């Protein structure tokens, strides 16, 4: 069964360092989402791509976060510099069509900033 791949699964870094997360969606899925999930809360959308275009990044802290999906397939989320408050689970998800279809979530990257 096709799955969304993410790496790394765990990342520990010191504040002010740069970190990057990678996501490979299910083949053929045009829509890709990056979420941040803090313990005890629901996933918060950071950025949504349709193919290689950004549909929404209104919740992305653009002074330190960046995301790209250059060829409309895999995607990278970067944080530079990392802050203590960035510690969270970062989830990637993909779907065939944004509105009508289920999202398939990857296993996530657990980020700890010391």
Residue 46 binds other proteins (CB under 8 A): no
Residue 55 binds other proteins (CB under 8 A): yes
Residue 54 to residue 33: CA distance in whole angstroms: 10
Q: Which of 56, 78, 81, 87 binds other proteins (CB under 8 A)?
A: 56
Residue 73 per-residue DSSP state = S
Residue 48 binds other proteins (CB under 8 A): yes
Residue 109 to residue 14: CA distance in whole angstroms: 16
Instruction: Report in angstroms the alpha-carbon separations of 56 from 10, 28, 53.
Output: 26, 20, 9
Residue 25 binds other proteins (CB under 8 A): no
Residue 22 binds other proteins (CB under 8 A): no
The count of residues interacting with other proteins (CB under 8 A) is 22
Residue 41 to residue 52: CA distance in whole angstroms: 29
Please state the separation of Cα 88 from the chain's center in Å: 11
Residues 62-101 binding other proteins (CB under 8 A) are: 91, 98-101
Q: Which of 21, 33, 34, 65 binds other proteins (CB under 8 A)?
A: 33
Residues that bind other proteins (CB under 8 A): 33, 40-45, 48, 55-56, 91, 98-108
């Amino acid at each position: 069964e096709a799955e969304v791949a993410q790496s790394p699964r765990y990342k520990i870094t010191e504040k002010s360092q740069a970190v990057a997360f990678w996501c490979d969606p299910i083949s053929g899925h045009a829509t890709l989402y990056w979420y941040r999930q803090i313990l005890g809360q629901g996933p918060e959308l950071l950025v949504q791509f349709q193919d290689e275009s950004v549909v929404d990044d209104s919740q992305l802290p653009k002074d330190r976060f960046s995301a790209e999906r250059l060829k409309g397939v895999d995607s990278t989320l970067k944080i530079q510099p990392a802050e203590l408050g960035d510690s969270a689970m970062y989830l990637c998800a993909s779907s065939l069509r944004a509105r009508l279809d289920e999202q398939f979530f990857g296993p996530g990257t657990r980020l700890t900033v010391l």
